C-alpha cells in the first residue's frame, strides 16, 4: 500500500498549493483578475466562496494538508492514518461535486483553480479507493 | 528515526505552506514591484534606479485616448478594463475616488480590453466607444460599470445599452450605426493590441507612468500610497 499513500501525499501537495493560492487571493481582499481562461473572479467573489466566515479555499487547504499528513503517516506504517484517509477523501470528493454543480448551474462560471482542485480530489479518491479496495495489500 | 521521519516531513510541508502564505499576504511596499531592468534616473527623481522599474512603451492604442485629468499631470494611470469583469467594476469607484482626491495631479486613461470569454464585454466596449464618438464616453463608461450586475446576466444587452444611450442623451440612431461601425471596431482593436504589447493578460491591469501596478495594490488605501509615493518620486506634492 505504500506506493498508494505516497501517490496520495504527492497529489495532496498539488491540492495544498492550489487551495493556498486561492486562500491568499481571498485574504488579500482581492478576487483574482479576469483572464481569458477563467471565471475565477465571478466564482471567488460569489457568496459560496465563504463558509461561516471562513474562505472556502482555506478550509480546502486544511483538508488537503490533513490528507497529506494522513497519507504520509500511512506510508510510514501508521495503519490508523490509512483508515481515516478513505472517509476524508470521499467527503472531499462529494464537496467537490457540489462545488462543480454550483459553478455550472448557479454561478454559471468556471474557475480553473477550482476545477484543478476537483480534479485533484477525484484523483485522490481513485488512488485511495483503488489502493484500499481493489489492489491486494501484498502486491502494492 | 524512521518513526519520527513522517512527522518531520509533515512539519516541513506545514512550514512551507504557512511561510508562503505569510509571504504572499504580507503588506506590500507602496511602490510597484520591480519587474524590469532599472532605468536611468530621471531629472528630479528621488528614487534610485533599483526602486524604479523602467516604463514600458508598447504600441499606441486608440487615439485620442479616453482620458480625464490634465495631459501634463505628474501621474498617469492607464487602465486596461473589461466592462463585464467584476474586479474592473470594483476598481471603477476606486479610480473615481483617486480622481477626486488627487485632482489635477492625476490623469486617468481607460483602454478597452474586452475578454473573449465574457459574452457581453465586446458589446459593452462598443457601446462605450460609440458613446465616445458623440463625446459621452465617460457617462456611458460610468453607467455600464455602475449597472454591471444588472446587464451582465441578461441576454439582450444591446437593447439595455441602447436604453443607457438614450438616458445620457445620445443620438440613438447614430449610436446604433456607430456600434457596428469601423471606427468603434478599430478603437477596440487598437486598445487591445496595445494591451497585448504591454503584456496585459487579464483585467483590470493598471499602469502608472508606464509601470504596471501590482493587482494587490489596487485596493484604495494601497493605491493611494502608490500614487503618493510616485508623486514624491517625480517631485510633485
Rounded to an integer, what is the distance from CA B194 to the centroid of its chain? Answer: 13
Cell 463608461 found at:
B141
Give the distance from residue A15's alpha carbon to the nearest chain B alpha carbon, in angstroms: 11
Selected residue with higher pLDDT from A31 and B107: B107
User: B25 and A24: CB-CB below 8 Å?
Assistant: yes
**pLDDT, position A39:** 67
Q: What percent of chain A has pLDDT over 90?
A: 46
Chain B residues lying within 8 Å of A35, measured CB to CB: 115, 201-203
**pLDDT, position B41:** 36
Chain A residues lying within 8 Å of B203, measured CB to CB: 33-35
**pLDDT, position B117:** 78
User: B24 and A69: CB-CB below 8 Å?
Assistant: no
DSSP A108: -
pLDDT digits (tens, 9 = 90+) for A48-61: 888 887 888 899 99
Cα separation, B233 vs A127, whole angstroms: 56
Task: Confirm or reject contact between A68 and chain B (CB < 8 A).
Answer: yes
Cα separation, A4 vs A89, whole angstroms: 13
Q: ∠ CA(A73), CA(A78), CA(A82), 5° rounding?
A: 75
A&B contacts, CB < 8 Å: 80
Task: Confirm or reject contact between A130 and chain B (CB < 8 A).
Answer: no
Chain A residues lying within 8 Å of B18, measured CB to CB: none
Write out chain B's pLDDT in tens, 237 residues. Answer: 677 888 999 999 999 999 988 887 765 544 333 333 333 334 333 343 334 455 678 899 999 999 999 999 999 999 999 999 888 998 999 999 999 999 999 999 999 999 887 889 999 999 999 999 999 999 999 999 999 989 988 889 999 999 999 999 999 999 999 999 999 999 999 999 999 999 998 899 999 999 999 887 888 889 999 999 999 988 755
**pLDDT, position B46:** 39
**pLDDT, position B209:** 94
Give the distance from residue B146's alpha carbon to the nearest chain A alpha carbon, in angstroms: 16
The per-residue DSSP string of A17-66 comes to: HHHHHHHHHHHTT-PPPEETT--HHHHHTSGGGEETTEEHHHHHHHHHHH
**pLDDT, position B236:** 58
- The predicted model gives A102-111 an average pLDDT of 82
pLDDT digits (tens, 9 = 90+) for A58-84: 999 999 999 999 999 999 988 888 889
**pLDDT, position A131:** 81
Chain B residues lying within 8 Å of A32, measured CB to CB: 87, 202
- The predicted model gives A106-135 an average pLDDT of 86
Task: Confirm or reject contact between A78 and chain B (CB < 8 A).
Answer: yes
- The predicted model gives A112-140 an average pLDDT of 81
Chain A residues lying within 8 Å of B9, measured CB to CB: 72
Q: How confident is the model at residue A31 (pLDDT cuts 50, 70, 90)?
A: low
**pLDDT, position A105:** 85
Enumerate chain B positions whose Cβ falls within 8 A of a Cβ in A: 2-3, 5-6, 9-10, 13-14, 17, 20-21, 24-25, 82, 84-88, 115-118, 201-205, 215-216, 218-219
Q: In this structure, what C-alpha cell is assigned to residue A41?
A: 473572479
Task: Confirm or reject contact between A86 and chain B (CB < 8 A).
Answer: no
**Chain B: residue nearest A9 by CA?**
B10
| Interface predicted TM-score (ipTM) | 0.82
When CB atoms are compared, the residue of B3, B21, B201 closest to A24 is B21
Is the CB of residue B174 less than 8 Å from the CB of residue B111? no
Amino acid at each position: 500500500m505504500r506506493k498508494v499513500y505516497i501517490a496520495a501525499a504527492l497529489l495532496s501537495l498539488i491540492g495544498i498549493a492550489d487551495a493556498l493560492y486561492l486562500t491568499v487571493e481571498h485574504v488579500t481582499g482581492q478576487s483574482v483578475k479576469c483572464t481569458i481562461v477563467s471565471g475565477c473572479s465571478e466564482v471567488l467573489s460569489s457568496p459560496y466562496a465563504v463558509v461561516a466566515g471562513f474562505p472556502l479555499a482555506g478550509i480546502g487547504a486544511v483538508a488537503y494538508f490533513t490528507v497529506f499528513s494522513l497519507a504520509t503517516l500511512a506510508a510510514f506504517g501508521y495503519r490508523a492514518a490509512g483508515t481515516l484517509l478513505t472517509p476524508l477523501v470521499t467527503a472531499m470528493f462529494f464537496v467537490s461535486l457540489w462545488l462543480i454543480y454550483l459553478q455550472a448551474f448557479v454561478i454559471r462560471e468556471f474557475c480553473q483553480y477550482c476545477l484543478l482542485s476537483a480534479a485533484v480530489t477525484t484523483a485522490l479518491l481513485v488512488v485511495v479507493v483503488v489502493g484500499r479496495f481493489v489492489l491486494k495489500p501484498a502486491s502494492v | 528515526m524512521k518513526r519520527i521521519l513522517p512527522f518531520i516531513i509533515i512539519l516541513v510541508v506545514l512550514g512551507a505552506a504557512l511561510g508562503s502564505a505569510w509571504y504572499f499576504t504580507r503588506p506590500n511596499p507602496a511602490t510597484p514591484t520591480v519587474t524590469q531592468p532599472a532605468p536611468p534616473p530621471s531629472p528630479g527623481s528621488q528614487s534610485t534606479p533599483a526602486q524604479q522599474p523602467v516604463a514600458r512603451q508598447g504600441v499606441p492604442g486608440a487615439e485620442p485616448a479616453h482620458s480625464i485629468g490634465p495631459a501634463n499631470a505628474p501621474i498617469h494611470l492607464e487602465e486596461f478594463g473589461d466592462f463585464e469583469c467584476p474586479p474592473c467594476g470594483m476598481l471603477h469607484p476606486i479610480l473615481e475616488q483617486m480622481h477626486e482626491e488627487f485632482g489635477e495631479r492625476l490623469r486617468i486613461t481607460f483602454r478597452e480590453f474586452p475578454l473573449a470569454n465574457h459574452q457581453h464585454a465586446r458589446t459593452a466596449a462598443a457601446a462605450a466607444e460609440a458613446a465616445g464618438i458623440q463625446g459621452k464616453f465617460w457617462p456611458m463608461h460610468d453607467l455600464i460599470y455602475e449597472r454591471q450586475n444588472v446587464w451582465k446576466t441578461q441576454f439582450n444587452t444591446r437593447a439595455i445599452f441602447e436604453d443607457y444611450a438614450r438616458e445620457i442623451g445620445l443620438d440613438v440612431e447614430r449610436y446604433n450605426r456607430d456600434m457596428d461601425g469601423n471606427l468603434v471596431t478599430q478603437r477596440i482593436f487598437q486598445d487591445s493590441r496595445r494591451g497585448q504589447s504591454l503584456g496585459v493578460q487579464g483585467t483590470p491591469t493598471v499602469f502608472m507612468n508606464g509601470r504596471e501596478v501590482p493587482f494587490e495594490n489596487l485596493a484604495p488605501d494601497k493605491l493611494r500610497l502608490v500614487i503618493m509615493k510616485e508623486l514624491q518620486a517625480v517631485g510633485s506634492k
